[in-house]
Structure 1
């Protein structure tokens, strides 16, 4: 079959322990905007104009288990695109300065010898996030 049935990602849903903390990170640090939500769920929808994220609060954050990307099936990490190296450096400054961010991989080539660069962090709540320049 050569006809693709899909045409990109519609949205990504992330379960978080603290909805306000996650909203604040995406909006205040990365510049996303709140575009909706369902208070009774509870959830907040945020977007950078290209990608839509649904942030859902875990039913019981105190007993929720953290995801282990090496042991569980599911989202290994979320990678967001940045426009270029300057944007990556600005994102690095903002993200790495956040007191609740844990750096996993500092800015570096995505593969040895590649001009594509990235960095990976664990954001507040424990989700692994990557920011990446365009593939060259």
Structure 2
């Protein structure tokens, strides 16, 4: 009989792994724009057998050129990879694609953060949106890293409706 319930001992998210086309460009984005602290680098990694396929699900001849860990706000850890891989997709998935994703970051003042992004020449999608229902009290907006990674800024300085009522609407 298969086990039921959550994974034993699972307590939190440890890190978010992202692949970028250029680690130097990503470093500038994560450090200079997002305010991350660079932690350490690893790599390169390559194997003569099928290790890369067995362990990472990529082509056996893939080379992980470099990876760098970044910390944000003393907690969130980004593990950022640069790979050499044959037939590597270079177009990030859309949010609506299977495997699509985004990274949401909290800010205290959404309007100041959006103004900063725009002044820095970052692609900001649309205008801030005010949520409703259980998320009432939250505002959010999407933006993109230079290589297409979708990110979201969220702010709810007075909490969300759900935080006040504990009920979904």
TM category, shorter = 0.7 to 0.9
**More displaced 10-residue stretch of structure 1: 4-13 or 119-128:** 4-13
Contact 1:58 1:64 in 2 (8 A): no
Distance of aligned partners of 1:5 and 1:28 in 2 relative to their CA distance in 1, 3 Å threshold? same
Matching residue within 152, 166, 169 for 1:130: 152
**Any gaps of 5 or more consecutive residues in structure 2?**
45-64, 161-169
Partner of 2:84, secondary structure, is coil
Matching residue within 2, 6, 9 for 2:13: 9
CA distance in 2, matches of 1:61, 1:18: 16
Higher relative contact order (CA 8 A, sep 6+): 1
Count matched residues.
131
Q: TM-score, normalised by structure 2?
A: 0.66
In the alignment, does 2:142 pair up with 1:117? no
CA distance in 1, matches of 2:83, 2:17: 12
Residue 43 of structure 1 corresponds to which residue in structure 2? 67
**More displaced 10-residue stretch of structure 1: 110-119 or 17-26:** 110-119
Distance of aligned partners of 1:114 and 1:24 in 2 relative to their CA distance in 1, 3 Å threshold? same
Matching residue within 7, 26, 30 for 2:30: 26
Q: What displacement does 1:111 show? A: 3.8
CA distance in 1, matches of 2:113, 2:86: 28
CA distance in 2, matches of 1:64, 1:129: 19
**More displaced 10-residue stretch of structure 1: 24-33 or 89-98:** 89-98
Q: TM-score, normalised by structure 1?
A: 0.80
Q: What displacement does 1:17 show? A: 0.8
Runs of 4+ in 1 over 4 A off after TM superposition: 60-63
Q: What RMSD in Å do the two structures reach over aligned CA positions?
A: 2.7
Residue 52 of structure 1 corresponds to which residue in structure 2? 77
In the alignment, does 2:125 pair up with 1:104? yes
Residue 92 of structure 1 corresponds to which residue in structure 2? 114
Which structure: larger Rg?
2
> 1:19-54 CA deviation, whole Å, 9 max, x = no partner?
111111111012111011214230111111120001
**More displaced 10-residue stretch of structure 1: 54-63 or 122-131:** 54-63
**Any gaps of 5 or more consecutive residues in structure 1?**
none
